[in-house]
Amino acid sequence: MFHVWTHFADIHHIQYWTVYGTLVCYVQRRGLLPHDLDIGVLILVQNTENLIPFSDAYFSSSQGINFVAPNARFIHRELHLHIDIWPIYDYHPNQLRSTTKIIKTLTEYSRSYEWIPSPIEWTFPSKKCVFSGIK
């Protein structure tokens, strides 16, 4: 399943990084847990537009992709595996863009619908890695 996502993201130039339990697995085991049925990734919100055409054109909800706020979910129906795709903003939505003191941050919309900011330096610069044999 992760092979499919990495291929899709590469073709459509979507930068992503693993998060939540998937990231914990990478740090602890350098791969996926055998019993884990999902993979969590973050993408910059600007890249979500690359996913929209596929919701109708290629992946109707019966075929395995649906878009549920605040994230999208890419589902492999036969294997019952899925990738949770979470958007992240490269600014804080409550911060005025016209201000001269812009704080560099990444901000995520949580499952409880709250903004969670983090310093951009915690994530970038990112680098490619090998995860469960997938680069």
Residue 36: give its domain's CATH number.
3.30.460.40
| Residue 134 placed within a domain | no
Distance CA(56)–CA(60), nearest Å, equals 5
- pTM of the predicted model, to two decimals? 0.67
Confidence of residue 12 (pLDDT cuts 50, 70, 90): confident
Q: Which residue has the higher pLDDT, 62 or 95?
A: 95
User: What's the rounded mean pLDDT across residues 36-58?
Assistant: 73
| Residue 127 placed within a domain | no
| Residue 129 placed within a domain | no
Task: Report the chain's mean pLDDT, rounded to a whole number.
Answer: 73
User: Domain range for residue 108?
Assistant: 2-122
Distance CA(12)–CA(21), nearest Å, equals 25
Looking at the 3D structure of the chain, how many domains does it have?
A: 1
| Residue 128 placed within a domain | no
